[in-house]
C-alpha cells in the first residue's frame, strides 16, 4: 500500500500578500504625487526668486545711474539715504512686475574721506505682502582725479607744452591741448582733450581728440575738505598783507628791487619726511610738513628766490647775495656758502683746501670769487647744477646769512634782536669759537634774520653795517607733542616745528591739508598720500612751486608706484616760480 503525504495548511497568506502589494503601490503613487508637487513648487520658487532678483538688481542699476548722473543726490557719510521706497518696477516688455515692491538705500562707506577713493554702497530690497524678501548689494568706487598727472579745466590758446617738458602720466583737458617746438614735449601716457590736440610731440600711448568732458569739481563739492583738515590739525591760514620794506644799513632787506614798493607777505609749505623711529625706513607715518611765515616788511620774492634780470641797484641784489651761492662737499657733507660771505678769507680757505666737489684752484678760482663784483658773483654761480644754486628763505642751508650772534669777543650767543648790530655766524670777533663751516641740512634756525654785510671791503669780517631785521620764522605744530626722535635723525630744536601728516603722530589725520587763502609756496619731499587745497572764494588761491617738489622714492621704481600721491587743488593757479 502506498502512503500519501498531505501538505500543511496556509490559511490567509494570499490575502496578506495582496494587501502588502496594494499598500506598496499606493505609497508609490503618493510619492509620485508628492514629487510632482515638490517639483512644481521648486519651479515656482525659482521663478519667483528670479523675479525678485531681477527686481532687486534692476533697483541697483537705477541707483547706480542716479549716483553717476544726479549731482544733487547727496549720499551721507554717517547713515543710509532712502533712494526708493515701495516702488514698482517694470519688466523688459514694459509691464509692471506684479506683487513685487522695492526699497533702495545708498551711503558713502569705507573711506568716507575719499583719501583712497570715494566708495558708495547701494542696498536693494525686493519684497511682497506675504513676507518674501530678496536683498542685493552693490559696492561702487568712483574714478579719482588722482589718476591724472595733469588735469585742466581750461587751456588758453596761447599756452603750450614745449621742448624738454614731459608728463609721466595720464593727461586731460576740458578744452584744447597744445604742444610746440621740435621735437616738442614727451607724453608717457595718453593725452585727451574735448576739442583738439595740436602741435608736435612724442606720444607713447597716443592721444584722443573729441573726448567727453569730465566735470570739474565745484567748490561746493570740496566744502568738506577744510573740515577734514581742521580735524587733523592741518588747517591753517597763510600770513598776508603788505608793509614798507625792512632796511638794514640803509639797504632794503625785503628782496624787492627797490625801497619804494611795499613788501608782500606769504607762507611757505615744506614737505619733509623724518624717520621718527630711527629704523632706517620711511613709513607713511614719517611724512611731515613745515610752515615758514615771512615777516612783515619782507617780500615773497625771498621765498620764490626770483632773481633780478639786470644788475640794478644794491637793493636789487639782496636776494641774490644772501640766498644764492655754492654748495660744496666737505668731509662727506654738503655745505652751502652764500655769495655775501665770500669776501671773508675763512670762506675761500675752507673751500679751496677742503672741498672735494667741486674743486678749486689757488689763486685762480679763489681770487676771482672774493672780488665782490659782478664778475665774482658770475664765477660763484658758474659751477653748474648741483653746485651753484639758490635756496628759499628759511632753509637750513642759509645759516651763514640767516643766523647772527652778538658781536663780542668769545660770545656765540645767537640773537634775533633788531636793535643790535650783530655778526653773521662764523664772522666777527667770536667767529672762530662759533665754528666756521657752511650751512647744512641740519643747521636749522627757528627764527631767521638778515642784515647788510658789506661787499666793498676785503678781507671782510662778516659784521653787519646796520641792525639786523626779522626775515620770518617757522610755525610751531599745535597738536600733540611728537615722541623723542634720535639726534642722529634730526636736531631736537627742529622737532616742535614738524607737522605730522598721518597716524599715529596725528591720530585725527585724514590726509587733507588746507589753507583758507593763498598765495602758498610749495617745495621739497613728500612721503604719503596728501591732498592740498587752497581756497578763499576771493581770488587769493594761488599755489606756487618754488623748488623741486618730489616724492621720497621714484614712483617708477619697483614697489613705489602707489607709495606717494600729492593732489594740489587751487582756487586760482598752480604755478612754477622763475
Per residue in 386-403, pLDDT (tens digit) is: 999 999 999 999 999 999
Range 54-70 average pLDDT: 89
Say how far apart CA 172 and CA 144 lie, in whole Å. 13
Within 8 A by CB and 6+ apart from 41, the residues are none
DSSP state of 414: B
pLDDT digits (tens, 9 = 90+) for 166-212: 998 899 999 999 999 999 999 999 999 999 999 999 999 999 999 99
Q: SS3 of 177, please?
A: strand
- Contact between 101 and 85 under an 8 Å Cβ cutoff? The reply is no
Question: CA 322 → CA 325, 381, 395, 412, 455, distances in Å?
Answer: 8, 13, 12, 21, 11
What confidence tens digit (pLDDT) does each residue in 513-570 have?
999 988 899 999 999 999 999 987 666 788 999 988 999 999 888 888 889 999 898 8
DSSP 179: B
pLDDT > 90: what percent of the chain? 50
pLDDT at 12 over 70: no
Looking at per-residue confidence, does 234 or 18 come out higher? Answer: 234
Lowest-confidence region among 67-71, 96-100, 391-395, 562-566:
67-71
Out of 138-142, 278-282, 490-494, pick the least confident.
138-142
Assess contact for 234 and 515: CB atoms under 8 A. no
Phi, psi values for residue 264, rounded to 5°: -105, 130
Dist. CA 458–CA 343, nearest whole Å:
6
Summarize the confidence of residues 327-333 as an average pLDDT. 96
Round to whole Å and give the CA distance between 452 and 285: 42
pTM (two decimals): 0.77
Whether 112 has a pLDDT exceeding 80, the answer reads no
CA 328/CA 305 separation, integer angstroms:
20
Average pLDDT over residues 349-365: 87
174-184 exposure pattern, b = at least 16 Cβ within 10 A, e = fewer = bbbbbbbeeeb
Average pLDDT over residues 45-74: 84
- pLDDT level of residue 4 (50, 70, 90 thresholds): low
Residue 398's φ and ψ, nearest 5 degrees, are -95, 25
What confidence score (pLDDT) does residue 364 get?
Answer: 76
For the chain, how big is the Rg over CA atoms in Å? 38
Task: Give 353 or 1, the one with higher predicted confidence.
Answer: 353
According to the model, what pLDDT value does residue 39 have?
65
Cα–Cα distance measured from residue 397 to residue 304, given in angstroms and rounded to the nearest whole number: 16
Mean pLDDT over 339-359 rounds to 92
Higher pLDDT, 273 or 30: 273
Task: Write the DSSP string, 80-136.
Answer: -EEEEEEE--B-TTSPBPTT-EEEEEEEE-SSTT-TT--EEEEEEEEE-TTS-EEEE
What cell was used for 553? 622714492
> In a 3-state reduction of DSSP, which class is residue 431?
helix
Question: What sign results for the dihedral spanned by CA atoms 486, 491, 496, 497?
Answer: negative
Asked if pLDDT for residue 443 goes beyond 90, the answer is yes
CB atoms within 10 A of CB 280: 7
pLDDT of 361 reads 80
Mean pLDDT of the chain: 87
Residue 468 has pLDDT above 80, yes or no: yes
Q: Quick one: which H or E segment has residue 290?
A: strand 287-294
Residue 329's SS3 state is strand
Q: What is the average pLDDT across 343-358? A: 92
Amino acid at each position: 500500500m502506498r502512503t500519501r503525504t498531505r501538505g500543511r495548511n496556509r490559511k490567509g497568506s494570499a490575502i496578506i500578500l495582496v494587501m502588502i502589494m496594494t499598500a506598496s503601490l499606493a505609497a508609490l503613487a503618493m510619492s509620485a504625487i508628492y514629487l510632482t508637487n515638490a517639483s512644481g513648487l521648486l519651479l515656482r520658487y525659482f521663478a519667483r526668486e528670479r523675479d525678485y532678483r531681477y527686481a532687486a538688481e534692476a533697483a541697483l542699476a537705477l541707483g547706480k545711474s542716479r549716483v553717476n548722473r544726479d549731482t544733487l543726490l547727496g549720499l551721507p557719510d554717517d547713515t543710509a539715504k532712502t533712494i526708493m521706497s515701495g516702488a514698482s518696477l517694470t519688466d523688459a516688455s514694459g509691464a509692471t512686475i506684479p506683487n513685487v515692491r522695492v526699497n533702495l538705500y545708498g551711503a558713502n562707506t569705507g573711506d568716507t574721506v575719499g583719501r583712497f577713493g570715494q566708495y558708495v554702497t547701494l542696498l536693494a530690497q525686493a519684497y511682497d505682502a506675504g513676507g518674501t524678501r530678496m536683498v542685493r548689494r552693490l559696492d561702487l568706487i568712483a574714478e579719482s582725479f588722482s589718476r591724472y598727472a595733469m588735469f585742466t579745466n581750461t587751456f588758453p590758446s596761447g599756452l603750450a607744452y614745449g621742448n624738454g617738458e614731459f608728463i609721466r602720466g595720464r593727461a586731460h583737458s576740458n578744452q584744447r591741448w597744445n604742444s610746440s617746438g621740435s621735437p616738442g614735449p614727451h607724453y608717457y601716457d595718453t593725452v585727451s582733450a574735448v576739442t583738439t590736440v595740436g602741435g608736435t610731440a612724442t606720444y607713447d600711448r597716443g592721444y584722443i581728440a573729441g573726448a567727453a568732458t569730465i566735470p570739474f569739481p565745484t567748490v561746493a563739492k570740496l566744502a568738506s575738505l577744510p573740515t577734514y583738515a581742521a580735524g587733523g590739525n592741518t588747517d591753517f591760514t597763510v600770513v598776508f598783507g603788505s608793509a614798507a620794506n625792512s632796511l638794514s644799513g640803509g639797504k632794503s632787506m625785503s628782496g624787492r628791487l627797490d625801497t619804494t614798493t611795499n613788501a608782500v607777505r606769504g607762507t611757505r609749505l615744506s614737505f619733509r619726511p623724518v624717520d621718527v623711529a630711527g629704523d632706517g625706513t620711511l613709513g607713511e607715518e614719517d611724512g611731515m610738513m613745515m610752515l615758514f611765515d615771512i615777516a612783515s616788511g619782507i617780500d615773497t620774492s625771498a621765498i620764490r628766490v626770483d632773481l633780478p634780470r639786470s644788475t640794478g641797484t644794491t637793493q636789487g641784489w639782496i636776494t641774490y647775495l644772501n640766498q644764492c651761492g655754492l654748495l660744496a662737499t666737505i668731509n662727506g657733507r654738503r655745505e652751502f656758502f652764500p655769495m655775501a660771505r665770500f669776501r671773508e678769507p675763512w670762506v675761500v680757505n675752507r673751500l679751496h683746501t677742503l672741498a672735494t666737489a667741486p674743486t678749486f684752484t689757488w689763486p685762480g678760482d679763489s681770487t676771482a670769487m672774493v672780488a665782490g663784483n659782478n664778475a665774482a658773483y658770475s664765477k660763484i654761480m658758474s659751477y653748474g647744477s648741483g653746485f651753484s644754486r639758490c635756496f628759499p628763505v628759511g632753509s637750513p642751508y642759509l645759516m651763514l646769512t640767516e643766523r647772527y650772534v652778538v658781536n663780542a669777543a668769545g660770545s656765540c650767543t645767537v640773537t634775533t634782536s633788531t636793535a643790535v648790530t650783530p655778526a653773521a655766524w662764523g664772522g666777527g670777533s667770536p667767529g672762530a669759537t662759533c665754528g666756521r663751516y657752511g650751512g647744512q641740512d641740519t643747521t636749522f634756525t627757528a627764527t631767521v634774520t638778515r642784515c647788510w654785510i658789506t661787499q666793498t671791503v676785503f678781507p671782510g669780517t662778516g659784521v653787519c653795517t646796520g641792525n639786523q631785521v626779522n626775515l620770518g620764522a617757522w610755525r610751531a605744530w599745535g597738536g600733540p607733542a611728537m615722541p623723542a626722535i634720535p639726534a642722529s635723525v634730526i636736531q631736537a630744536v627742529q622737532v616742535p616745528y614738524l607737522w605730522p601728516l598721518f597716524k599715529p603722530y596725528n591720530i585725527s589725520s585724514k590726509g587733507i591739508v588746507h589753507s583758507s587763502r593763498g598765495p602758498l609756496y610749495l617745495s621739497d619731499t613728500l612721503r604719503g598720500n596728501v591732498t592740498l587745497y587752497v581756497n578763499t572764494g576771493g581770488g587769493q588761491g594761488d599755489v606756487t612751486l618754488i623748488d623741486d617738489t618730489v616724492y621720497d622714492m621714484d614712483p617708477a621704481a619697483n614697489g613705489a608706484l602707489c607709495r606717494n600721491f600729492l593732489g594740489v587743488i587751487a582756487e586760482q593757479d598752480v604755478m612754477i616760480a622763475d
